[in-house]
Amino acid sequence: MSGAEPAAPTEADGLPLWVAVETPQHSGLTGPLAYRADRIWPPGTLLRVPLGRRDVLGVVWDPERVDEEPPDPATWREAGAVFDALPPLPASWCALVDFAARYYQRGTGELALAVLPPELRKLEPAGLAQRLARLRKREATARARAAQALPLVQRPEPGADQAAALAAFEAACGEARPKPQLLYGVTGSGKTEVYLRAAESVLARGRQALVLVPEINLTPQLEQRFAERFPGRRVLALHSGLTPVQRLRHWLLALLGEADIVLGTRMAVFAPLPRLGLIVVDEEHDPSYKQQEGARYSARDLAVWRGHAEGVPVMLGSATPSLESWQRALDGRYQRLDLQARIGGGPLPRVRLFDMGVLPREPGGQGPLLAPRVLDSLRERLERGEQSLIFLNRRGYAPVLHCADCGWKSGCPHCSAWRVFHKGERTLRCHHCGFTERVPRACPDCGNQDIAPIGRGTERLEEQLAPLLPGARIGRLDADTARGKGELERRLAEVHAGEVDVLVGTQMVTKGHDFRRISLVVALNPDSALFASDFRAPERLFALLMQAGGRAGRDAAAATPPEMWVQTWHPTHPLYQALKRHDHGAFAADQLDERRGAGLPPFSHLALLRAEARDVDIAAAWLEGAAAAARALPVAEGVMLYPPVPPPVSRVAGIERLQMLVEAASRPRLQALLAQWVPQLQALKARHRGLTRWAIDVDPLGI
Residue 657 β-bridge partners: 612
Sheet holding 427-429, edge to edge: 420-422, 427-429, 436-438
* Most confident listed range (75-89, 312-326, 518-532, 672-686): 312-326
CATH number of the structural domain spanning residue 679: 3.30.70.360
Q: For residue 78, what is the enclosing H or E element?
A: strand 77-78
For residue range 110-158, list pLDDT tens digits in order: 999 999 999 999 999 999 999 999 998 888 777 766 666 567 678 889 9
Buried b / exposed e across 471-496, counting CB within 10 Å, b at 16+?
ebebbbbbebbbeeeeebeebbeebb
Helices within 88-179 (DSSP H only):
91-103, 108-114, 125-148, 160-173
Burial of 240 (0-12, 13-18, 19+ CB in 10 A): exposed
Dihedrals φ, ψ of 15, to 5°?
A: -105, 135
* Most confident listed range (64-68, 214-218, 665-669): 665-669
Residue where one domain finishes, among candidates 94, 116, 138: 116
Does residue 133 sit within a domain?
no
Range 344-368 average pLDDT: 82
Does residue 85 sit within a domain?
yes
Estimate to the nearest angstrom the gap between the alpha carbon of 455 and the chain centroid. Answer: 28
Q: Please give the C-alpha separations between residue 396 and each of 144, 242, 399, 411, 523, in angstroms, as whole numbers.
A: 50, 27, 7, 15, 17
Q: How confident is the model at residue 8 (pLDDT cuts 50, 70, 90)?
A: very low
Q: What is the pLDDT of residue 155?
A: 86
Name which of 52, 110, 48, 57 is nearest 79 in CA terms.
Answer: 48
The sign of the dihedral angle between the CA atoms of 454, 460, 465, 470 is negative
For residue range 471-490, list pLDDT tens digits in order: 999 999 998 888 877 888 88
Dihedrals φ, ψ of 429, to 5°?
A: -130, 130
Range 253-261 average pLDDT: 95
Q: What is the DSSP letter of 398?
A: B
d(CA 112, CA 186): 37
Assess whether 383 and 420 both reside in one domain. Answer: no
Does residue 136 sit within a domain?
no
Assess whether 294 and 207 both reside in one domain. Answer: yes
Q: Which domain holds residue 307?
A: 154-342
* Other Cβ atoms closer than 10 A to 437: 14
Range 35-61 average pLDDT: 94
3-state class (DSSP) for residue 131: helix
Does residue 110 sit within a domain?
yes
Three-state DSSP string of 181-243: EEEEECCCCCHHHHHHHHHHHHHHCCCEEEEECCCHHHHHHHHHHHHHHCCCCCEEEECCCCC
Does residue 139 sit within a domain?
no
Q: What is the pLDDT of residue 508?
A: 86
Give the residue ranges of the annotated binding site. Answer: 403, 406, 412, 415, 430, 433, 443, 446
Does residue 692 sit within a domain?
yes
Residue where one domain finishes, among candidates 436, 454, 472: 454
d(CA 125, CA 380): 65
pTM of the model: 0.93
Residue where one domain finishes, among candidates 311, 342, 373: 342
Give the residue ranges of the annotated binding site for Zn(2+). Answer: 403, 406, 412, 415, 430, 433, 443, 446
Buried b / exposed e across 509-543, counting CB within 10 Å, b at 16+?
bbbbbebebbbbbbbbbbbebbeeeeebebbbbbb
Assess whether 268 and 315 both reside in one domain. Answer: yes
d(CA 165, CA 180): 13
d(CA 638, CA 663): 9
d(CA 292, CA 287): 10
Per the CB < 8 A criterion, the answer to whether 670 and 633 are in contact is no
Q: What is the DSSP letter of 82?
A: B
Range 8-12 average pLDDT: 47
pLDDT(13) > 70: no
Q: What is the DSSP letter of 685?
A: H
d(CA 460, CA 478): 13
Assess whether 514 and 379 both reside in one domain. Answer: yes
Assess whether 49 and 174 both reside in one domain. Answer: no
For residue range 371-409, list pLDDT tens digits in order: 999 999 999 999 999 999 999 999 999 999 999 999 999
Does residue 703 sit within a domain?
no
d(CA 132, CA 137): 9
Per the CB < 8 A criterion, the answer to whether 291 and 695 are in contact is no
Q: How confident is the model at residue 99 (pLDDT cuts 50, 70, 90)?
A: very high
d(CA 518, CA 85): 52
d(CA 315, CA 52): 44
Burial of 236 (0-12, 13-18, 19+ CB in 10 A): buried
d(CA 141, CA 147): 10
d(CA 562, CA 347): 7
d(CA 6, CA 9): 9
Three-state DSSP string of 490-541: HHHHHHHCCCCCEEEECHHHCCCCCCCCEEEEEEECCHHHHHCCCCCHHHHH
Residue 427 β-bridge partners: 422, 438
Q: What is the DSSP letter of 256?
A: T
Assess whether 71 and 199 both reside in one domain. Answer: no
d(CA 389, CA 474): 10
Does residue 146 sit within a domain?
no
Per the CB < 8 A criterion, the answer to whether 522 and 379 are in contact is no
Residue 350 β-bridge partners: 563
CATH number of the structural domain spanning residue 581: 3.40.50.300
Q: What is the DSSP letter of 616?
A: H
Assess whether 374 and 509 both reside in one domain. Answer: yes
CATH number of the structural domain spanning residue 37: 3.40.1440.60
Buried b / exposed e across 174-203, counting CB within 10 Å, b at 16+?
eeeebbbbbbbbbbbbbbbbbbbbbbbbbb
Residue 543 β-bridge partners: none
Q: N- to C-terminal Cα distance for the chain?
A: 50
The sign of the dihedral angle between the CA atoms of 120, 123, 125, 127 is negative
Per the CB < 8 A criterion, the answer to whether 199 and 191 are in contact is no
Name which of 32, 341, 348, 382 is nearest 159 in CA terms.
Answer: 341
Name which of 104, 148, 447 is nearest 290 in CA terms.
Answer: 104
Per the CB < 8 A criterion, the answer to whether 384 and 560 are in contact is yes
For residue range 601-647, list pLDDT tens digits in order: 999 999 999 999 999 999 999 999 999 999 999 999 999 999 999 99
The sign of the dihedral angle between the CA atoms of 201, 205, 208, 210 is negative
Assess whether 205 and 57 both reside in one domain. Answer: no
Assess whether 175 and 54 both reside in one domain. Answer: no
Q: For residue 577, what is the enclosing H or E element?
A: helix 574-580
Per the CB < 8 A criterion, the answer to whether 477 and 508 are in contact is yes
Burial of 38 (0-12, 13-18, 19+ CB in 10 A): exposed
Q: For residue 694, what is the enclosing H or E element?
A: strand 691-698
d(CA 452, CA 432): 22
Assess whether 533 and 409 both reside in one domain. Answer: no
Q: What is the pLDDT of residue 212?
A: 97
For residue range 158-187, list pLDDT tens digits in order: 999 999 999 999 999 989 999 999 999 998
Name which of 489, 491, 497 is nearest 517 in CA terms.
Answer: 497
Q: For residue 303, what is the enclosing H or E element?
A: helix 299-310
Q: How many domains does the chain have?
A: 5
Assess whether 685 and 586 both reside in one domain. Answer: no
Q: What is the DSSP letter of 645?
A: B
Assess whether 364 and 286 both reside in one domain. Answer: no
Mean pLDDT of the chain: 91
* Most confident listed range (30-39, 189-198, 213-222, 678-687): 189-198
pLDDT(238) > 70: yes
